[in-house]
A and B are shown apart, each in its own frame.
Chain A
Amino acid sequence: DTEVTQTPKHLVMGMTNKKSLKCEQHMGHRAMYWYKQKAKKPPELMFVYSYEKLSINESVPSRFSPECPNSSLLNLHLHALQPEDSALYLCASSQEGGRLAKNIQYFGAGTRLSVL
């Protein structure tokens, strides 16, 4: 089973709202990732968690706040977003972080976010 589950599938929010995206995997993976993907563009890395600790933050604005409550869950808390933050947000997981062959990243289907 190589399933990464993301909820919700779609989200519409105003610029003053607070919302959260959720990602879950039960493959025993210890690294989890958030990516942002604009239309017709490749995914861009936002955050990496390794063993439940934030290991990479790609200079993402503070209105995006990641959280890793346990090894299976990854959340992305959203607050005071801008219309340009509208995008597909993808979650991925891998056995560990880094470049080893076993660290293939498996992706979820994403959350389509629209900020009005």
Chain B
Amino acid sequence: QSVLTQPPSSSGTPGQRVTISCSGSSSNIGSNTINWYQQLPGTAPKLLIHSNNQRPSGVPDRFSGSKSGTSGALAISGLQSEDEADYFCAAWDDSLSGPVFGGGTKLTVL
């Protein structure tokens, strides 16, 4: 079982806003930043959000991240069909001395 907890699935219609949650503990999200990855079918993960809420160059501003306490969230506004993918959260864990990931959320665009 994954150290960080995400809902296994989420869905929305084009143009809608969806939010994916990520829950952890004091040893990971509570004391370190969250990063989010997007994995399109059959491809490697791609960094989508880093340092809780920063977008790498080239990532549309439809994607945003937030963190509060031991939880975080990824928001996608103006949902598009190409956003259909798996999304993973990640954080450093001080107790495990390594990075930990969420189990992933499969986003379906209806």
Please say whether chains A and B are actual partners in one complex: no
